[in-house]
Amino acid sequence: MQSLSFNQQIEAELSEREWHMFESLKQWTEQQRDAWRSAWRSWRQKQLSAIHNGQAQVQIHISSECIGCFDCEIMCPEIFYITKKRSRIKKEALELNAQQKAFINPKIMSICWSDLQLAKEACPVEAIKLQTLDASDPEPTPELFN
Ligand code: SF4
Q: Output the CA 135–ligand 1 centroid distance in Å.
A: 28
Domain ranges within the chain, ordered by starting residue: 6-133
User: Is there an atom of ligand 1 within 6 Å of 76 CB?
Assistant: no
> Residue 58: CB partners within 8 Å, gap ≥ 6?
51, 103, 104, 109, 130, 131, 132, 133
Pairing mode of beta strands 58-62, 80-83: unpaired
pLDDT recorded at residue 146: 62
User: Is there an atom of ligand 1 within 6 Å of 130 CB?
Assistant: no
Ligand 1 pocket check: which of 90, 118, 125 to mutate, most ligand atoms within 8 Å of Cβ?
A: 125
Least-confidence region, from 11-25, 27-41, 65-79, 91-105: 11-25
Atom of ligand 1 nearest to the CA of 73: 6
Q: 6-133 architecture in CATH?
A: 2-Layer Sandwich (3.30)
Q: Output the CA 101–ligand 1 centroid distance in Å.
A: 23
**Radius of gyration for the chain, computed over Cα atoms and rounded to the nearest angstrom:** 16
Say how far apart CA 136 and CA 81 lie, in whole Å: 32
For 90, phi then psi, to 5°, come to -65, 140
* Confidence band, pLDDT 50/70/90 cuts, at residue 135: low
Give, as one character, the DSSP assignment of residue 52. Answer: H
Q: Mean pLDDT, to the nearest integer, of 7-22?
A: 83
pTM of the model: 0.68
Residue 129 Cα distances to 31, 36, 62, 64, 123, angstroms: 31, 23, 6, 11, 10
pLDDT recorded at residue 1: 46
Q: Mean pLDDT, to the nearest integer, of 126-143?
A: 79
pLDDT recorded at residue 141: 73
pLDDT recorded at residue 26: 82
* More confident call, 11 vs 48: 11
User: Is there an atom of ligand 1 within 6 Å of 115 CB?
Assistant: no
Say how far apart CA 52 and CA 10 lie, in whole Å: 13
Q: Output the CA 70–ligand 1 centroid distance in Å.
A: 6
Say how far apart CA 97 and CA 55 lie, in whole Å: 13
